[in-house]
Structure 1
Amino acid sequence: MRAYPYRFHVALDGNGLNGLEGLAGVCQFLFDPADNAYAWKIAYFDGIAGGHAISLNPGGSLGFLGNTGQHLLIYDGTDSRELARQSTLSYESTDTSLRGSTHAVWLSEHEFITAIGDHFYRFDARRLAEGVKLGPHGVKLPHALKRSASGRYLVYGSMDHPRLGEAREVGIYDLQTGEARRVELPATCWHVAADPARDLFYALSFRVLPQEGRDWHEWAMAFLKEYAFEIDAASGRVLRHWAAGREVPAHINSDVVLSDGELIFCNGASQSIVMIERERLAGWRMIDERPDLATVLGQRKAVGTQIADALSRGNVLHETRHFLSALRISRWAVLDSVYACQLSADQSLLFTANRGLNHITVYDYPANTLRLRVAMPALQDFVPVSPGGDPRLGFHHGALAG
């Protein structure tokens, strides 16, 4: 069997608009830049829901499929075969079905940390039933989780909570003292990226509004300005921040990665990959993946699902502004877009997965020129649902081995 230098792992949640309520699977996209050869492996897991994010152990031999279905799931990093699963409800109950172990940080080849309920837990992937409680995380609904450069701090975003409301916070957990710090911010931040050399991190705003003024479960996208915060992990102090007017296509971000010179994040609603220069945290550029009209018309099944799901989330008569905002945020594309972006270790290749158009793209970085684009197979090839319906696999967060 041919060996490929890169394995791009992407979490899958099916073809619905709200991936937090969808299926759970993994796509592995294998790539060799020497001749642009590629292959893929796709697997969905029965009895697991809300596939969301991938975390790989240092060797890439094990993957953690984070999800909103209150499970831990470990899979083989080579063939996506399920190795172990564990209900998190045996550790702590949850006050909302959106609270799940969506992200994890690996400490070694077998040990990782993730959030369950109100606390962080440490696990050995070989013994998921023997997790160890570390301490409270201190935020409303913990989300993306990274480890700082020194290894001392966990840094993490927080989602708006269906009962407790808007988050407007990030968290910092000191692994030496077991103490958590909550950092208040002007806007909710789901996703973070940690600097590889210093104990600082970046948090990206994720701005939504509650349906009917109260429903933070079936939230609506907010057509508001967006932020990127640079935060010192030791002190919890915001060092610098970037703010973008609402016209900048930087809404509903997902993966956040760093190059030596840029903060890179993909935006599932705005059809873009935005890159902010880190030296001044001011200038920015982007890769535009907004589809043209012909492409949108060619995706009738996906567009139909998107519209039906949007209408089912809110009352179009009472909440017209949310639907108009969504159209403006997506730049009238009526499709979601890039949810996974990962940069190779040598910073020469940028891997992306476009949820709305169901394709994977490899760009040459930093030139941002298109090297390869692959249309992926239909969901119905793997899961017996919606025969002849929306074919999208449901790309969400990614991770890159190689």
Structure 2
Amino acid sequence: TDLAKMRGKPVVILIDEYDAPVGHALADIPLATAIRGELSDFYIQIKECASDVRFLMMTGVTRFTQLSVFSALNNLNDLTMDARYATLLGYTEEELDANFDEHLRAHAQVMGLSYDAYRAQLRWWYNGYRFAPDTETKVYNPVSIAKTLGPKRPHFAPTWSRTGRSSALINYLTMHDLDSRDYDNVRGVTESALDVCRLEALSPVSMLYQGGYLTIKDCDEGLFTLGVPNEEVRLDLNSLLLQYATKQADDDYRDATCFALMEADFDTFFARLRALYAHLPYGSTEAKVPEAAYQRILYVLLASWRFFRVTAEDRQAQGRADLVAESRRAVYVFELKIKGTAQEALAQIKDRGYAEPYRATGKPIHLIGLAFDPSNHSLSEALVEDLA
């Protein structure tokens, strides 16, 4: 009000990260609730000065629908899923063409790719964000584009873990375990489920969506299908899933384990895999753990390493392999057995021809059978054979 009087005209207020104070405190719900109350008092003061405010814009990561800001400032227009603003905070394909053509072509040369192949890879790594249900337009992460086109390194690399991780999500993960669902195909989600309504009842889907790890893939009559937007985010999400599911597998452990597999050092790979499964927080040894839980750990381990392309439950004519990983050097076909043997797992891979579609790659193909002991949740046996 004083500033408006001094200038003789209404003021413009810009508030970035309006949600940060609450998000930083999600590990302490009473504290987060108290902060929410303080923010409510602040926003009420803004509303009472409405005649002195020409324009107010607030941005943040998380849409806390009951943060009190939305009741204190009930004259706000929520632009979160408004198609008119869906490309406001990212680059479209057309904007890349118009503003970065010289840099894009120079980077394609550095990477030794044709321009079309380069753009396809760029799209795979950094595009995919869709911010409104009634638009098909997807946008690139502008920070990732800047960090990619600046140094023009001879390969694409993830920058998300250094620039995009949500503190609210990290604080959420200190209190909750993410379940082992396929986050690349989350179906039947309502728009209200995407909001963070109650601090005491946070959902993993809403936290991942608000944190940028999930985006809109489709919308049918108000029901959303969500998925991971791109490879950069997929790598970081799997790294988070691995870290919080195992409580001990950091990036160094992941790197050494995956590198051993890529180098075909199977003794080291199996030893590190045994150690990883031995430390999983599965509860009592009497607890029944489904095969999918063992498979999920292996998936996030390999899929969080950017040198592997990983497919879980790869569908074939005679069934589906539990997991297939592919590097530039080789293909690895995994089958897991609970209450079975590693030899039975290998026999199933061969009998059902899980590896046959990969002969066309011309790469060595390694068949890997893993057997788990349900009495103590350990990796009891591991065998590998090369496809003849």
Same fold (TM over 0.5): no
> Shorter-normalised TM-score: what interval?
under 0.3
Work out which of the two has the higher radius of gyration on C-alpha atoms and give 1 or 2.
Answer: 2
Q: TM-score of the superposition, structure 2-length normalised? A: 0.24
Higher relative contact order (CA 8 A, sep 6+): 1
Q: TM-score of the superposition, structure 1-length normalised? A: 0.24
